[in-house]
């Protein structure tokens, strides 16, 4: 599995500090109680230099996550955009992964967080294909997880916060232990929800299907990107509840997320998806996605923020 590759600098509340100094106390509220809001964003190498993909949309989701948990971020969107660009340049990185974090630090003894300061960090480091280059090319073998996703109105699935990732960890560890690369989880009602860290799309009869934002899954920026690209290409898109069995009977299946990008799924529970090879609509959307993020196609939606 991918170990972290260190870079030189991390931005912390307005200053750049050496990577090794970005520590928090054992009893920080976020360590005790999971209260670290975060984002995962990719910066790509383009012919015009490094460019961050949908930076403002990711930061918007981060502010939303903070609002739900009543965490006041000291920094404006424009300040964090500027800090992110400066950080990548200062680390002399080209393609990299950015992990903004807003966490509750040291202070509060118990669960009530208000005596802990809200701290903002921007780390980034080089990170290649999350599921491997072969996964992007040939697809992954997935299973349906025995772990369901959280129910609506238990903990908010739309907030990207550390505590939520206990669910993803169980889902992913089970999949790996059983010899699969990924898992797709069902919601509490048994309908399709999402992967351990990806949203799910089904292709059937030339149309694209994905579950709605139903309180069990994260509203992915890549999900939104794929829906937009499909509409641009004239592919019908249906956002609707989906049953488990469509995973077995659909023509094509893929998962998508910042880390995973657009990754085809070639089998589910050892049943081949279609004929087991990557289908034409999956490949087309994947190609369009990769062309835009890598600056090979025109960025008609204004999704790239140049670092320089």
User: What are the catalytic residues?
Assistant: 160
Distance in Å, CB of 84 to ligand PMP, minimum: 16
Rounded Cα distance between 149 and 261, Å, is 21
CA-closest candidate to residue 260, choices 134, 135, 133, 130: 130
The token pair at 163 is 């505590």
- 244 by DSSP, 3-state: which? coil
One of 198, 210, 216, 250 touching ligand PMP (CB under 6 A): 198
Using CB under 6 A, which of the segments 9-17, 176-184, 215-223, 297-305 binds ligand PMP?
215-223
Convert residues 28-47 into a mask of x (bound to ligand PMP by CB under 6 A) and - (unbound).
------------x-------
Q: List CB contacts of 83: < 8 A, sequence separation 6 or more.
A: 11, 14, 75, 122
Contact positions with ligand PMP (CB under 6 A) in 137-196: 168, 194
Rounded Cα distance between 154 and 162, Å, is 15
Using CB under 6 A, which of the segments 2-10, 74-82, 131-139, 217-225 binds ligand PMP?
217-225
Question: Total residues contacting ligand PMP (rule CB under 6 A)?
Answer: 13
Q: Does 286 bind ligand PMP (CB under 6 A)?
A: no
Tally of CB atoms within 10 A around 259: 18
User: Which C-beta is closer to ligand PMP: that of 112 or that of 176?
Assistant: 176
What angle, 0 to 180 degrees and rounded to 10, lies between the N-to-C axes of helices 77-90 and 55-68? 120
- 47 by DSSP, 3-state: which? coil
Contact positions with ligand PMP (CB under 6 A) in 239-278: 257-258
One of 59, 87, 218, 247 touching ligand PMP (CB under 6 A): 218
Q: Which residues bind ligand PMP (CB under 6 A)?
A: 40, 168, 194, 197-199, 218, 220-223, 257-258
């Amino acid at each position: 599995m991918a170990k972290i590759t260190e870079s030189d600098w991390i931005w912390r509340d307005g200053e750049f500090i050496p990577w090794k100094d970005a520590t928090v106390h054992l009893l920080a509220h976020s360590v005790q109680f999971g209260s670290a809001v975060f984002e995962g964003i990719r910066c790509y190498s383009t012919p015009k230099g490094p460019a961050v993909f949908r930076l403002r949309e990711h930061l918007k989701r981060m502010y939303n996550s903070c609002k739900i948990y009543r965490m006041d971020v000291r920094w404006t969107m424009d300040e964090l955009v500027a800090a992110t660009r400066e950080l990548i340049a200062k680390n002399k990185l080209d393609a990299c992964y950015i992990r903004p974090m807003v966490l509750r630090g040291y202070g509060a003894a118990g669960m009530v967080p208000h005596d802990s300061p809200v701290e903002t960090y921007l780390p980034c480091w080089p990170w290649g294909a999350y599921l491997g280059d072969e996964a992007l090319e040939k697809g992954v073998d997935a299973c349906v997880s025995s772990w369901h996703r959280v129910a609506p109105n238990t903990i908010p699935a739309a907030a990207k916060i550390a505590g939520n990732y206990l669910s993803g960890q169980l889902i992913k560890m089970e999949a790996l232990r059983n010899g699969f690369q990924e898992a797709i989880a069902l919601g509490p009602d048994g309908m399709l929800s999402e992967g351990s860290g990806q949203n799910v799309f089904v292709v059937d009869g030339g149309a694209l299907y994905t579950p709605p934002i139903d309180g069990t899954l994260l509203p992915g920026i890549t999900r939104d990107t794929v829906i937009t690209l499909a509409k641009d290409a004239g592919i019908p898109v249906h956002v609707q509840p989906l049953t488990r069995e469509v995973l077995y009977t659909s023509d094509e299946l893929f998962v998508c997320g910042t880390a995973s990008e657009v990754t085809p799924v070639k089998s589910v529970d050892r049943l081949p998806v279609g004929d087991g090879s990557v289908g034409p609509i999956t490949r087309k959307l994947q190609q369009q996605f990769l062309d835009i993020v890598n600056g090979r196609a025109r960025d008609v939606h204004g999704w790239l923020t140049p670092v320089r």
